[in-house]
């Protein structure tokens, strides 16, 4: 009989336990979980605090009793594994309720210890009203505090997934929220130009966003909590959420001499095996390969953890199963907006020395003639060598999730711009367009590759000559132009361009812009057909205006608690 011990009973651990039972009816499976809950939905925790999920019981997919009833897995909650002996093949376990310490032998061991929230050694960090969010217990404590203390103001420290979700759900409870982020943007998986849309959505919903603002400590005065920033400014509030990030919880593996890597994470091979015989590790505690770059990385997401749990279980039971790496596919709800990404972004490509090409487009989520269409913003990253899809970021209100899933699949399959253009995707007016936004990304990339169109980008806008040596052309309607345009651009609506083309100097380069990039592409083709050298702006004026306003706002903001 195969004796399997699993340390950690949430995503990866619970998945591994259920998979082992399905493959081996006779295995003795024991799960030790130091919290009071197993198989719970980490990603749903903020939504219970915000009231979207009403019943706390809905956060847990299984209880120890239901797990045993269905899978005959012995689950011990409030039990912490405090040591591993990889030679004797046993673990030392502490019952956190009774204090009893005992030894449990194993034939196979799976570590699913996850990641723990980062708590820097700030002064006053243990003050009442400061919380982190990792477990169901954390969630219940935050909810209890809100119900009992009725906080009016909250500061969320950190602008990643948990920080953004907590900010939204606190705001939905009528709490005034300030997000303090030490870096230049929220949501690091997105490039800074795309993050501008996230900043805008947060501000539109009343959340104050403070970027490039470092927290140095906390103190109490007049019964209120102060979040103290570098520079001496303090933000008064009633509660604070630390969402600075997470680090792998691999202490027991390190103490046992198991090889570790980035930030102390557990090193595993593609079978999820550690350096110790018969010891496997999965989830947020492990170092894996980035599927796109092939480099070692950490990806703290539920999807990879569950897949790794299945792979480890397969190998424990004698199957030959491999995990080929993660690409960070993720999606987040930000008030009414959806933000999603997969693969690498432009910043990562530059850091890794990968030469890329990008397309930025602003398509509707479905056919324009069908009521209710809403614009999404897409940025797709391609390899400069072979035009393989390497990454994508999408922001919008409807249809974002299905497009990011198509692009995530394209990355996994090694698809190119040509493949995107040829994808046969489902179409009906309420759901898509005959040329789906994913197809459109492929078409634009083909045009770039084949020299049908040249592009210019936001980062080059300020350096364009304003001395008359080039032509700066806005081809939107006169009404659109008058409501806002880039300094130095003249206005000729695209439908008037042919009749007025003689007013332009054919010897000058033309930099063209419209609202979304489509009309300016048509204008660029008209110009090229008449002997001009034309460049089309990627993303359109809507994209330019969002990024420009965000950066101007960030420059004007100071860490004084004022809304930027």
The residues carrying an active-site annotation are 43
Tokens, residue 448: 């770039």
Determine the angle formed by the axes of helices 64-71 and 11-23, rounding to 10 degrees.
20
Per-residue DSSP letter, 434: S
**Which residue bears the tokens 């595993």?**
268
User: What's the CA angle centered on 259, arms 255 and 262, to 5 degrees?
Assistant: 100
On whether the CB atoms of residues 535 and 517 are closer than 8 A, the answer is no
Instruction: Look at the chain and count its residues.
Output: 564
Q: Single out the residue of 50, 332, 394, 461 nearest to residue 197, CA to CA.
A: 394
Per-residue DSSP letter, 174: T
- The radius of gyration computed from the CA coordinates of the chain, to the nearest angstrom, equals 27
Cα 21 to Cα 117: distance, rounded to the nearest angstrom:
31
71-83 burial, b at 16+ Cβ within 10 Å, e below that, comes to bebebbbebbbee
Q: Single out the residue of 135, 208, 126 nearest to residue 167, CA to CA.
A: 208
Q: How many Cα atoms are found within 13 Å in the side-chain-facing hemisphere of 42?
A: 24
On whether the CB atoms of residues 474 and 464 are closer than 8 A, the answer is no
Cα 154 to Cα 50: distance, rounded to the nearest angstrom:
13
User: What's the CA angle centered on 295, arms 294 and 301, to 5 degrees?
Assistant: 95
């Amino acid at each position: 009989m195969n004796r399997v011990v699993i340390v950690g009973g949430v995503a990866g651990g619970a998945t591994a336990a259920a998979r082992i039972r399905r493959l081996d009816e006779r295995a003795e499976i024991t799960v030790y979980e130091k919290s009071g809950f197993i198989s719970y939905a980490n990603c749903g925790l903020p939504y219970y605090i915000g009231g979207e999920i009403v019943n706390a019981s809905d956060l847990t997919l299984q209880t120890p009793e239901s797990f045993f009833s269905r899978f005959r897995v012995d689950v011990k909650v409030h039990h912490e594994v405090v040591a591993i002996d990889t030679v004797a093949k046993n673990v030392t376990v502490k019952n956190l309720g009774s204090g009893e310490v005992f030894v449990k032998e194993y034939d196979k061991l799976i570590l699913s210890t996850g990641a723990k929230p980062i708590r820097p050694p700030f002064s006053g960090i243990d003050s009442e009203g400061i919380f982190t969010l990792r477990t169901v217990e954390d969630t219940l404590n935050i909810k209890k505090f809100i119900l009992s203390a009725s906080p009016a103001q909250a500061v969320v420290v950190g602008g990643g997934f948990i920080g953004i979700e907590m900010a939204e759900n606190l705001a939905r409870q009528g709490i005034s929220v300030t997000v303090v982020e030490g870096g230049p943007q929220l949501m690091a998986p997105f490039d800074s130009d795309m993050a501008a849309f996230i900043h805008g959505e947060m501000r539109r919903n009343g959340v104050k966003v403070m970027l490039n603002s470092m927290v140095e400590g906390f103190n109490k005065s007049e019964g209120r909590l102060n979040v103290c920033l570098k520079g001496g400014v303090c933000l008064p509030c009633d509660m604070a959420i630390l969402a600075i990030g997470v680090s792998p919880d691999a202490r027991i593996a390190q103490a046992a001499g198991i090889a570790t890597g980035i930030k102390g994470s557990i090193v595993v091979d593609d079978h999820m095996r550690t350096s110790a015989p018969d010891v496997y590790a999965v989830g947020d505690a492990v170092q894996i390969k980035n599927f796109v770059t092939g480099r070692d990385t950490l990806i703290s997401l539920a999807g990879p953890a569950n897949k790794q749990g299945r792979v480890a279980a397969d190998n424990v039971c004698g199957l030959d199963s491999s995990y080929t790496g993660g690409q960070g596919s993720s999606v987040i709800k930000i008030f009414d907006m959806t933000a999603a990404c997969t693969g690498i972004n432009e910043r990562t490509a530059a850091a890794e020395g990968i030469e890329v090409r990008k397309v930025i487009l602003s398509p509707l989520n479905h056919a324009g003639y069908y009521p209710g269409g809403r614009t999404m913003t897409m940025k797709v990253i391609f390899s400069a060598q072979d035009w393989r899809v390497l990454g994508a970021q999408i922001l919008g209100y409807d249809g974002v999730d299905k497009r990011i899933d198509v692009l995530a699949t394209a990355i996994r399959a090694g698809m190119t711009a040509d493949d995107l253009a040829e994808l046969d995707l489902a179409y009906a007016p309420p759901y898509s367009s005959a040329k789906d936004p994913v197809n459109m990304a492929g078409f634009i990339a083909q045009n770039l590759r084949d020299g049908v169109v040249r592009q210019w980008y936001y980062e080059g806008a300020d350096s364009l000559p304003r001395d008359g040596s080039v032509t700066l052309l806005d081809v939107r309607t006169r009404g659109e132009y008058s409501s806002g345009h880039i300094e130095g651009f003249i206005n000729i609506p695209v439908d008037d361009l042919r009749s007025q083309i003689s007013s332009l100097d054919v010897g000058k380069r033309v930099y063209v812009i419209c609202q979304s990039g489509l009309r300016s592409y048509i204008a660029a083709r008209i110009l090229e057909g008449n002997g001009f050298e034309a460049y089309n702006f990627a993303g359109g004026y809507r994209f330019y205006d969002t990024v420009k306003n965000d950066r101007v706002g960030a420059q004007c903001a100071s860490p004084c608690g004022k809304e930027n």
